[in-house]
Chain A
Amino acid sequence: MADAKEKTKKDEVKKLVIARLEVLSSDKKISIGSSGEFTKEELIEHVEKEDSIGEKITEIQMEFLQSLKEDVFYEQDTSNNETKA
């Protein structure tokens, strides 16, 4: 039961990420460090396959959606991570 719920949630997230990638214009590529450069079609494939690139894109999109709830769009909040170490 819990597994089925988890799978449904995962599928919903995947659909959401793919929908967000689909609006990306086709003339743009995304560089993800040493993993390489990807078109939106390639990224969608990676998300569908749930491989490491797909997971990275999902993480970026989900972190963004999460940030919408955190008021990070204001200057005082951009200082996060500045005082580590």
Chain B
Amino acid sequence: MNKILLTTRPKHDYTTHYLFYWASEIIKLARDKGVSVLDLKKKRANRKEFESMLSKKEPLLVFLNGHGNADCVAGHDDEILLEAGKNEELLEMKIIYALSCKSAKELGPKSVGSGALSYVGYDNDFVFLWEEGKISKPLEDKTAQLFLEPSNCVVGSLLKGHTVGEACRKSKQLFLKNIHELLTSENSSEIVPYLMWDMRHQVCLGDRSSSF
């Protein structure tokens, strides 16, 4: 397995638009740390290229962004990239973070059962709030930041050498820090239920001691 980060970044609706830009922060961090990045963005986030990169380049870390369901994660235009019972064996010996809805419910456990080292994801919908006025500058959206920074913390921590278990703990700590700050502020506490939801539904499957 190679010290390579593979990312998928579809961009075809508002949700993937936000994930696309926030994942670019992780790509920047990886490159700053000298890590090779295979960036399957927009139309390149398709099944053919994804499967080819996984088998030819053997990246140790896979960061998936996109819509999903209990048994799958999708790429550009919602083309299914990974599907339980179909191609999860491609994740063998890899660490995966799926910023996607529900995939830790079925795809995650099956991936670990097929040899993935660890699978971090969400066992229910990943929800986030954003500001309409910031759609053209998602990285300046302080509301989206409350959700997407703790999410980025998973891969960010792995790139800094932490184990998967530590990366999950740090991500949840950051969700919790944001919750505390909102609860003690005069406004925006209405966002708290959604942060709490994401924090509680983030799951860490497989070997928590594995690292990148």
Contact = CB atoms under 8 A, between A and B. Distances in A.
Given A28-B129, A61-B193, 4 more contacts: A33-B100, A67-B200, A84-B203, A84-B205
How many of chain A's residues touch chain B, expressed as a range?
A: 20 to 34
A78 B187 CA distance: 24
Interface residues of B, number: 55
B190 A31 contact: no
A33 B109 contact: no
Contacts of A24: 190
A34 B101 CA distance: 8
B78 A34 contact: yes
Contacts of B172: 78-79, 82
A39 B183 CA distance: 22
6 contacts: A29-B14, A34-B74, A67-B200, A72-B200, A73-B183, A82-B165
Nearest to B207: A85
User: For the complex, would chain A's binding face be called helix, strand, loop or mixed by DSSP majority?
Assistant: mixed
A52 to B, nearest CB: 11
Interface of B: 13-15, 18, 67-69, 74, 78, 100-102, 108-109, 112, 119, 123, 125-133, 143, 165, 168-169, 172-173, 175-176, 179-180, 183, 187-188, 190-194, 196-197, 199-206, 208
B127 A75 contact: no
Interface in A1-59: 20, 23-25, 27-37, 56
Nearest to A17: B193
Contacts of B13: 36-37
A82 B208 contact: yes
Contacts of B168: 82
A82 B130 contact: no
Nearest to B193: A64
B176 A75 contact: yes
B123 A81 contact: yes
B191 to A, nearest CB: 8
Contact of A81 (B102, B143, B204): B204
B204 A75 contact: no
A81 B169 contact: no
Nearest to B165: A82
Contacts of B173: 75, 78
A28 B143 contact: yes
**Among the interface residues A63, A78, A85, which one has the most CB atoms of the partner chain B within 10 A?**
A85
4 smallest A-B Cβ distances: which pairs?
Answer: A64-B193, A33-B101, A85-B205, A78-B172
